[in-house]
Amino acid sequence: MSSNIVGIVGTGAMGSGIAQVAAISGRNVVAVDVSASALEKAQATIRQSLSRMVKKESISQEDADSAFSRISFSTKYEALSPADVIIEAATETLDLKRKILRDISRVAAEGTLIATNTSSLSVTALANEVQHPESFVGIHFFNPVPMMPLVEVVRGLATSDDASERASAFAQELGKTPVVVKNAPGFVVNRILVPMMNEAFFVLGEGIASAEEIDVGMKLGANHPIGPLALADMVGLDVLLLVVNILQTDTGDSKYRAAPLLREMVAAGQLGRKTGQGVYKYD
């Protein structure tokens, strides 16, 4: 089936970003969330992001307006029915994702590619919630979605070759580069990246260097575009802690234990850019 419609459930930072890049690529998008206020916030976020792209001359104002016009917003799952690709992009909470996937499966047409944008949860386990697990796959975008060119296509145990190929083709259609990976804790990128960010909190907590020195060291010494602590603030310290805990639980390996300072900052509500205070302060 091919309807040229992408359905997205969850319109936070990731869902809004996916909606934006899909619309820019020429796809029609149906964005679903639980409340009108959440959808209004998503609309404002997408408009602001498109405006930044216009200012940077990445796209024209006409193209930005056209892309936004291709996105519709709804609080009803039934609006997803015409889509040939539906992506769950809710927060990284297992029970929530399970419920959403059951609701998606209830309204999805036969042959629909259903995907999760999870960054750390088991694609194989989540596939149990859909009627056709062979058509279920992980399509893991990276934040911020409009800027980051990579997509991990994650194959669960039941994922068919056709679903994997369709997911990769969809990513390419959106201008992304897909890498196909097996289902495993953290997949590839977060399996490597998250422990590095966590280790930066160990180094900071032990007083070995200041936050600025740690970040400058990794930028200039490892040629990273952003330091691990600044990146953690961007990702959200609560998200980082969640993924660290999942890695330790799923692997049983103590090397993934969370840094005490990271736990303390999350407990204090200092979550990074989204709260105005993390490792660094933000206006």
Binding-site residue positions for NAD(+): 10-15, 33, 92, 97, 119, 143, 274
Tokens of 167: 């997911």
What residues are designated binding site for CoA? 49, 56, 119
**Would residue 152 show up in a list of annotated catalytic residues for this protein?**
yes
State yes or no: is 140 an active-site residue.
yes
Q: Which residues define the annotated binding site?
A: 10-15, 33, 49, 56, 92, 97, 119, 143, 274
Cα distance between residue 256 and residue 129, in whole Å: 28
The catalytically annotated residue of 129, 140, 164, 183 is 140
Contact 88, 104 (CB under 8 A): yes
Ordered alpha helix ranges (H), 108-188: 123-126, 161-173
Of 88, 117, 120, 152, which is the active-site residue? 152
Q: What is residue 132's three-state secondary structure?
A: coil
User: Nearest 5 degrees, angle CA 250-CA 199-CA 222?
Assistant: 115
Q: In angstroms, rounded to a whole number, what is the distance separating the alpha carbons of residues 123 and 42?
A: 26
Residue 128 known to be catalytic: no
Give just the sign of the alpha carbon dihedral 6, 10, 11, 12.
Answer: negative
Catalytic one of 119, 122, 135, 164? 119
81 annotated active-site:
no
Residues with catalytic roles: 119, 140, 152, 190
